[in-house]
Amino acid sequence: MTSSSTLTAHNLARLLQATAPHAAAEGIGLDQIDGIRVEADGSHLYAIATDRYTAAIARARLLTAGEPSEPGAPFARTVHGHSIPTLRAWVDAHRGDAALNLTAEADHLVLTGPRGTLRIPAGSEEFFNWRKLVHTALADHPADGPCARWTSRLWERWQHAGREITTWHTGGTTPLLVLGADFIGLQAPHRPDPTQAQTTADALDAWKASLGPDTGQRLDLATVVPDPSPREYPTATTVPQMSENLLRQTLAVTAGLLDAPSEDAVAAYAWSAYRLLKALRQADPDLAAATVADLTDQLEDGAIGEWAWEAATDEGHDPQQWADARARPTTVASS
């Protein structure tokens, strides 16, 4: 029996669409969860993705005996972020009812369909235990506790309620309470669908064949993978603090001091400048254009250190004190 499975193009496209928004972004030190995990167990194909803040698991039943292919042996491969657009485009090029066969190789996933074959890089490295994660989440709720049914298209209406919101829901037909900064809102659940799970016990029953037995071990979403290696970005919580940071580092560079910004810090400042310019352009395009023109003149003048020194003085700082503190030699006690 080969490590291959067959399902319709519609179902594979649905799995990718449902999980792709939850995959960790490339380049942030979380290579283990960068992309979408594709797993087959002989009866279903699963797509799993997480960014440590959300997790999504979608499944589709494989085509079985009497249809284009027998289900193959179980396999698991991770299609990393840079390959996802290619995979989705290839699947979308097929009719929804087209049968697509997935075969797992050592470091590739091979897809075969009416429009040809796609051989895409896919790793077999260890992935987080999503089954244990789901068991933990279900165990945190009463088995007979009532579920509420929501329309997901309404969730986007809360994105401007605040950067962080607090929610409460007592279950059943009571509304969801949403609290933000100087904001409070309600969302009514939809009427229960008798064909869908009504309790967590029902949900576990619907997924028991996919999840397997509960070992009792806990796995929390925030700990599915280690934290990425920390980077020492310059931080500021207020406009004056960021202004001071920028002036300090500008003077450090122009003075040729040893503690000039690191590459990470330079990247952070460049990104900060972009975000601030974008916000200024949205708020006042004319002021943004005038500021860029003025900045260009100053950069062409070449005396950035003088401009920064003058700006620091105008804002009430003591740039000489900064320079003295940076240049002060370290004292070593004599033995």
pLDDT digits (tens, 9 = 90+) for 223-238: 777 666 655 556 666 7
Residue with tokens 């669908």: 193
* pLDDT at site 324: 75
172: Cα within 13 Å, side-chain hemisphere = 3
- CATH number of the domain bearing residue 90: 3.10.150.10
> Are residues 103 and 165 located together in one domain of the fold?
no
**Is a pLDDT exceeding 60 seen at residue 59?**
yes
Report the pLDDT value the prediction gives residue 7, as an integer from 0 to 100. Answer: 94
Residue whose entry in the numeric block shows the structure tokens 């992935």: 127
Q: Provide the mean pLDDT of the chain.
A: 82
Predicted confidence band of residue 68 (pLDDT cuts 50, 70, 90) = very low
Partnered with residue 118 across adjacent β-strands are 111
DSSP 31-71: GGGSSEEEEE-SSEEEEEEE-SS-EEEEEEEPP-TTSS---
Task: State how far the Cα of 91 lies from the Cα of 290, in Å rounded to an integer.
Answer: 48
Distance of CA 177 to the CA centre of its chain: 26
Q: Please state the domain count of the chain.
A: 3
Show which of 165, 196, 227 is a domain's final residue. 196
Phi, psi of 168 (to 5 degrees): -135, 145
97 and 167 in a common domain: no
- Domain housing 168: 148-196
Residue 108: what pLDDT? 93
Q: For the chain, how far is it from start to end, CA to CA, in angstroms? A: 75
Say if residue 20 is in the same domain as residue 117: yes
Quick check: is 279 in a domain?
Answer: yes
Q: At 103, is the pLDDT very low, low, confident or very high (cuts 50, 70, 90)?
A: very high
Summarised one tens digit per residue, pLDDT across range 6-31 is 999 999 999 999 999 999 876 656 67
Q: Letter for the amino acid at 88?
A: R
Tell me which of 196, 227, 262 is where a domain ends: 196
pTM for the whole structure: 0.68
Strand order of the sheet with strand 116-121? 4-8, 99-104, 108-113, 116-121
Rg of the chain in Å (alpha carbons): 27
- For residues 105 and 57, is the Cβ–Cβ distance under 8 A? no
Q: Is the pLDDT of residue 1 over 50?
A: no
Q: Given this model, what pLDDT does residue 335 score?
A: 37
Residue 228 domain-assigned (yes or no): no
Enumerate the H helices of the chain as residue ranges.
9-19, 84-92, 130-139, 200-211, 239-254, 263-283, 285-301, 304-314, 319-327
Q: Could you tell me how many residues make up the chain?
A: 335
Residue 138 in any domain: the answer is no
> Same structural domain for residues 94 and 8?
yes
86 with 174, same domain? Answer: no
Torsion of CA 168, 171, 175, 180, to 10 degrees: 10
Could you tell me if 29 and 77 lie in one domain?
yes
Residue 102: count other Cβ atoms within 10 Å of its Cβ.
Answer: 25
CA distance 282 to 269: 20
Task: Name every residue whose Cβ is closer than 8 Å to that of residue 16 and which is 6 or more positions away in sequence.
Answer: 36, 47, 84, 87, 88, 91
Q: Which amino acid is at 214?
A: D
Determine the average pLDDT of the residues in 243-268: 71
Instruction: Examine residue 176 and state whether it is found in any structural domain, yes or no.
Output: yes
- 58 & 160 share domain: no
